[in-house]
Structure 1
Amino acid sequence: MNNVSYVDQKISTREMIFIIANYVIAVGILTFPRSIAEETDSFDGWISILIAGTVVCTISWLLGKLASRFPTRPFFELVAVITGRPFAYLLTLLFSVHSIWMASFEIRAVGIITKQCLFTNTPVEMITLAFLLIVQYVAAGSRLALLRLNLIFLPIVLLVILMVQMYTLRFLEWENVRPFFSTDWMSLLSGVKRLGLSMTGGELVLFYTILMKRPQDAPKSVTLGMAIPILLYMTIYMIVIGVFSSEVVRNLTFPTIELAKGVEVPGGFIERVESVFFTIWIMTIFNTCSISFDLAITTLQSVFTRISRFTWILILSPIIYLIAMMPQNQTEFFTFGDRLGYFGVVIAYVIPLVLLAIAKLRGVKDGS
């Protein structure tokens, strides 16, 4: 695949916002209402979403401050300046493991849900392989082209989700959302934990600030980029609970897809809106997988500098596929995702915050 040559070799603040938002809106948007409903009563899950969103946006803003302190350094050099090269090698490799794991999880999710909703007679292995080949093709091209796909896909995704929400408002039932404020604080915090596991994405600012026209805008862009999916999660949760009730949502594997199934477009122009919704949702998964693949390659290249990008694509593709095929059923798949979430919180949020604290204490910044 020939790389496209761009005159503008930097991404704007708006593009960074779209990249982060599209990365976060992935598999979690289909399952999170069930996770929250399992921990909270009636309508109170919105409080957990609000708390989790506030915490995630604050942490993401701090990660943006860390990235803006080193606007000309890639991630490996950023860590090396703060802690030394040995730890930089270790942390960079851990990020590559997280990116590989994330790509594997996302493509397996596409395989499972596509088989369930669209191609019921097609083996999951073939669906997953086909999707991986598409992601592989895009990852072999220009990084800027890959990142700028988010400018095309995100508005379409948001428009379709908004349409689904508007057409399901008439199914809302007041009894499904009462009583209010009946959940204790420990249950609300459990909901925060469940949601927080699927809200990683702010760490992208540590890798892509070097590509920004205005790296000083990194804190603002990552905060707004995280705020978009949080607002989306809030509205989807409220409508899902209002339509189905929390008792029903606890027993739905993919509540958001069930919500889309209830949409009826006047005039019969679209008979199966859930198919359209799912097709559009694949766009966000595609972006998440592509960015994860790109991060895996970029981090490994910074450690093993003599191996080309194309070689890494050939090495990583079978590894990602084999990892994706490890879960044998949906229960193992969700456990696979929970473990990824715990690992991601530590790698993407906890350790970078420690790096920021060390950089502040030592007075380390770009050029020092």
Structure 2
Amino acid sequence: MNGSQGKLTTTQAVVIIVNYMLGAGILTLPRTTSKAVGTPDVWISIILSGFIILGVGIILVTLCRRFPEKTVFQFTREITGSWIAYILGLSMIMYFIVIAAFEIRVMAEVTGMYLLERTPTWVIVMVFMWIGVYMISGGLGVIVRVFEIILPITIIIFVIEILLSNQLFEIGNLRPVLGDGIMPVFQGLKPSLLSYTGYEVMLIMTAYMKNPKKSNKAMTWGILISTIIYLITVVMVIGSLSLDGIKTRTWPTLDLVRSFEIQGLIFERFESLLLVIWIMQIFSTTAITHYCASVGIRDLFRSKKIKGIMYGLLPFIYLTAMIPKTVDDTFVLGDMLGNVSVFLFGILPLVLLLLSLIRKKGGKHA
């Protein structure tokens, strides 16, 4: 499989979804949701968000299966006409570019704070950008193989470190359940939903699947795995650091890992190990969004040379990544992206699906 050639298995599609979802959001998810909810019921918001995103994801892949072997940038033209398709396509391309920039900026902030102190942010951004473009220039096959290496390592180390933190865990920090009613849970839906961005990658990847009929299965497993990891994270962080203890922490997940040590092991403190692994995870999100933006430009403007597009996007990603002046500005950018994603990938796929049915565009489900 190289570039647009070859086919993805269902398992590979799941790996791509999970790698995309588990980016920078997991480092801040406990803080953002706790501030919104204000009670220990954050974990309920995470579960509800998972079900909502699963429903949206099923609608999304149902749309894609009506147009076999075509990406969203190709089949939107058939549904809406050229001009609207160009507007929507360019909006999605800009979204993927900004997501790539946001993730790489967060990666640079975390790396500069914990691993490479006093290293200029622009240097870290440039290095990871060039590594990323080198990887994605090898095509989708190379990306998937790298993801298949990164994801199992990430999950194993993450679960081990979270479980080791149980020495700090107090179940009382998660009580009372629904003490202030159900409304605080609903208030936590928005920030938790924003952490689920990533399912939209199937708007492109469904076209490359060996068996598009199993795209529902891939979407379901991808969201389920991500939900479980998010749920474990939130429960362990709140249970260990308390609700009030995480509201003022920028990276509460990292602070949890830094708050304990195991005597006698090779790694007595684990934050550096978690950082290295999670930097690779954020790098994965940056890489796949850069690739999706490149595919979008190629398909929208019917170009044949995608490598030139990949390198051409580098200045735009770099400039966007350097726009935020502080970490707080970076988080504001992330919130903006989440709001945009609600329209582009929450509402729009349903509208396009209904239009395709009304106008009888596309075939039956592949």
Name the TM-score, length of structure 2 as normaliser. 0.95
Partner residue of 2:289 out of 289, 292, 304: 292
Q: How many residues align?
A: 364
Query: Partner of 1:73 in structure 2?
Result: 70
Q: Find out whether 1:278 has 2:275 as its counterpart.
A: yes
8 Å CA contact 1:42, 1:245 repeated in 2: no
CA shift for structure 1 position 148: 2.8
Q: Which moved more, 1:305-314 or 1:25-34?
A: 305-314
Q: CA deviation at 1:319?
A: 1.1
Could you tell me how far 1:267 is from its partner in structure 2?
1.3
Moved over 3 A (4+): 183-186
**Match for 1:89: what amino acid?**
Y
2:167 aligned residue: 170
- From 74, 82, 98, the equivalent of 2:79 is 82
Q: 1:49 aligns with which of 40, 46, 60?
A: 46
Instruction: Say whether residues 1:35 and 2:32 are aligned partners.
Output: yes
Aligned counterpart, 1:220: 217
| 3-state SS of paired residue (1:87) | helix
The Cα shift of 1:266 comes to 4.2
- One-letter code aligned to 2:95: H
Q: 1:215 to 1:118 in 2, by over 3 A?
A: same
Aligned partners of 1:147 and 1:291 also within 8 Å = no
> Partner amino acid for 2:14?
I
> Are residue 140 (structure 1) and residue 137 (structure 2) matched?
yes
Q: 1 CA distance for matches of 2:73 and 2:239? A: 47
Q: What letter corresponds to residue 173 of structure 1 in structure 2?
A: E
Structure 2 counterpart of 1:286, one-letter code: F
1:91 maps to 2:88: yes
CA distance in 2, matches of 1:292, 1:273: 29
Is 1:181 the counterpart of 2:170 in the alignment?
Answer: no
* Partner-residue secondary structure (3-state), 2:27: helix
**Paired residues of 2:154 and 2:281 also in contact (CA < 8 A):** yes
C-alpha contact (below 8 Å) 2:2/2:138 kept by paired residues: no
1:313 alignment counterpart: 310
Instruction: Report what 2:321 is aligned to.
Output: 324
The structural deviation recorded for 1:185 is 3.3
Matched, 1:109 2:102: no
Whether the aligned pair in 1 keeps the contact of 2:63 and 2:353 (CA below 8 Å) is: yes
Structural mapping, 1:329-344, within 5 Å: 329-344=326-341
Q: C-alpha deviations, 1:278-322, integer Å up to 9, x for none?
A: 100112111111110111111111123347323222321011101
CA distance in 2, matches of 1:33, 1:104: 23
- What CA RMSD, in Å, does the superposition of the two structures yield over aligned residues? 1.8
Partner of 2:253: 256
Matches of residues 13-28 of structure 1 in structure 2 within 5 Å?
Answer: 13-28=10-25
Moved more, 330-339 or 262-271: 262-271
Q: Deviations over 1:11-65 (max 9, x none)?
A: 1001101100110000000000001111224421111111111100111011111
Percent identity reads 32
Give the residue type in structure 2 aligned to 1:222.
Answer: M
Distance in 1 (alpha carbons) for counterparts of 2:195 and 2:364:
35
Q: Take 2:297 and 2:69, find their aligned partners in 1: how far apart are those partners?
A: 19
- Which amino acid counterpart does residue 68 of structure 2 have in structure 1? P
Change (3 A) 1:284 1:94: same
TM-score by length of 1: 0.94
